[in-house]
Amino acid sequence: MSFSFKTLIKVLSKEDLISIAQSNPDIDQIALKLNLNRAQVRYLYSKIGVSIRSSKNKVTTPTPPPTPSKEELKALEGNTLQHICKTLNLKPRKVLALYSSYGFKAPSKQSNYCTSCRIPKEELNHLYHVLNQSLTVIGDKYKVSKQTVSNWMMLYKIPLRTRGSTKQEKRKKNTHPIWNLTKEELVEKLSNSTCLKDLCQTEDMSVNTYQRVLKFHNLKSPFDKQKLHLSEEELKDLYLNKNLTLVQISEMKNVHYQTICRLVKKYGLVGAKKSPNSEFFSSK
């Protein structure tokens, strides 16, 4: 049976509240037993002058590890400071203080790179500089990481290669057969061609290669830029009457698709052609 807060103040005596607090030392347990919130429990016990503690205010301090004896430290002598700290679960400052208190020599810190290498300097130098093997390949051979091989190089003071020195062959340039032609032969070949497109298709070369060859021989292109002469009436006949697409017209006139698109916008023919499904939708 639960009571209101005002009824509890009148019903419960001071002795009852003290006994409840002694049997339930936590404020959450008292609030659960009296069916009150934490603020009401604090106010109720402040009226009778009893202080209660909260579980959130409890600070649990971890038990410190036991101090190692003199024999345990002597058994770990010769190891690095990092290894001793990991074994004893202590911080470096504590370990150094123990060694100084026992009169032992302080352990040395581990360096950033290795102090020993499993292969001799001559072999590492032969693999790296003579056989031109990378650090990754050498590391895979000895089952170590690339950084470990780099540390070996720093230990032996072996100089590193410059970037790109291991490449055996340089990239070949100007491999197209047209580069082997002389200036006179190139002029003769250009005179026998009708247009640039036919020349590029026959010789199987790009327009960029053609332009670089002309620049190398200091020649001007003999082909004029093709201009499209397509009147409005002709375009309307092809586009509206013959019902050709823009791609079909561009292939017929041997021009780019965007050129026909610009002419369609110029002559105001955008949306003039009805789609094949327009009659179907209009009938509905």
Distance CA 20, CA 49 (A): 14
pLDDT of residue 79: 80
Distance CA 215, CA 224 (A): 17
- Residue-wise burial string across 141-170, b where 16 or more C-beta atoms lie within 10 A, e elsewhere: eeebeeebbebbbebeeeeeeeeeeeeeee
The residue with tokens 């201009």 is 227
pLDDT of residue 123: 92
Across the range 185-190, mean pLDDT stands at 88
pLDDT tens digits for range 89-134: 888 888 888 888 888 888 776 655 566 788 899 999 999 988 888 8
pLDDT of residue 144: 86
pLDDT tens digits for range 155-172: 888 998 877 665 544 555
Judged against a pLDDT cut of 60, whether residue 185 lies above it is answered with yes
pLDDT of residue 194: 80
Q: What is the DSSP letter of 26?
A: B
How many degrees, rounded to 5, is the angle at CA 61 between CA 58 and CA 63?
145
The answer to whether residues 150 and 142 touch, using CB atoms and an 8 Å cutoff, is: no
The set of residues, in sequence order, having a beta carbon less than 8 Å from that of 196 and lying 6+ positions away, is: 207, 210, 221, 223
- The lowest-confidence range among 2-16, 56-70, 81-95, 100-114 is 56-70
User: Confidence class of residue 138 from pLDDT cuts 50, 70 and 90?
Assistant: very high
